Chains A and B, each alone.
Chain A
Amino acid sequence: MPFPPTVAEAIASLSLDREMRDRIGRISFRDAGHGFDTFGMHPSFVAFGASVLGPLYDKYFRTISHGAEHIPDSGPTILAANHSGNLPIDGAMLWIDVLRSTEPPRVARPIADHFVPALPFIGTAFARGGMVGGSRGNARSLLDAGELLMIFPEGVPGIVKPFSKRYQLQTFRVGHAELAIRHSAQVVPVGIVGGEEQMPALLASRRLGKLVGVPVLPIPAIPLPLPVRYHLYYGEPIRLDKDYRPDQADDPDVVREAAAQVQAAVDTLIQQGLAERNGVFG
């Protein structure tokens, strides 16, 4: 990072209220010896992230959270959410909502596609807030430690899908289901409503993406995201470990079936959100 943890903490202390600072002070954190965890997360940068995202969450996107009580207090958990909007703002809103809504407070560890850790500045900044590169080994380590993972099973095809396909889930990858079965993790489905309309893209270019080190580069129709209202819907935890034995995590049919179960739950939450919301900005 271009600045040390003390600077991050100083910035955070200027903008975060006491309750939020206390909350961040209580997050479960495994210090690897120098204030950072093995994956590079640092509580001061979590506070910094909360201070930066807080105004966006409260004022700009006016986010409303529904059902956060479904997130387990502890233990290995996977938040499986839909992905949209050309910029990962949905991930950021979900990250801060989890931090604010859980008691005891938990930091969601976003599992990012391989290209993200390789992006200069962005990769490091996200890692300080808890992001982890999307390899099976990383996810396994975190689940073994009882952490809360944030996974977007649609991956890149979800975030860059055209506006005409808004709120149509792309095929879920099965990695999250396999991890959940193998590590007896609960899966909390999350339906995110609002992100699809924040920044419609004119086109998505793989060629331009290659130039900047991302798989696809969306060309947005507007320079800044619109102030849409975000709705985050958490569903009841899906206990894949109750339906399947850990050794079934290697069965392709089983993991596909489990992933389809999660996808259906996310879709139900999205449809609920669309039905309940009062317009894109309301």
Chain B
Amino acid sequence: MTAMTDDTTHAHGHAPLAHAAQPAAQAHGQQHPIKLYLLVWTLLFVLSACSYLVDYFDFQGLLRWTLIIVFMMLKAGLIVAIFMHMAWERLALVVAILLPPLAVLVLMAMMAWEGGYTNYLRVFFFGA
């Protein structure tokens, strides 16, 4: 294994840093109780049923969008945190993986603006 000691952190002389970092790299397997997985599985079923019911009862407008987003985020959070074990990873990996996708929100905002503008032009010139 590539168990690399991080003497560098000690060398800097920052006591809190040295304390926070583990002395050596430990690639450990993720093993958690089956019970927890079954619980998450059940929750995902319930949340999926809830999002399906949003459509079944034909909620419209802001209520529909809010419910869809809430159930979606809860499901995504459970999958990433428990099934993909993000809850037990070190924060260095968590921020490296979860922060970059937030840049997508910028693209989304720009394209929403663009889409709205295109729609405005189409209505304005073609009066559809």
Q: Do A and B come from one complex?
A: no
Enumerate chain A interface residues (CB-CB to B < 8 A): none
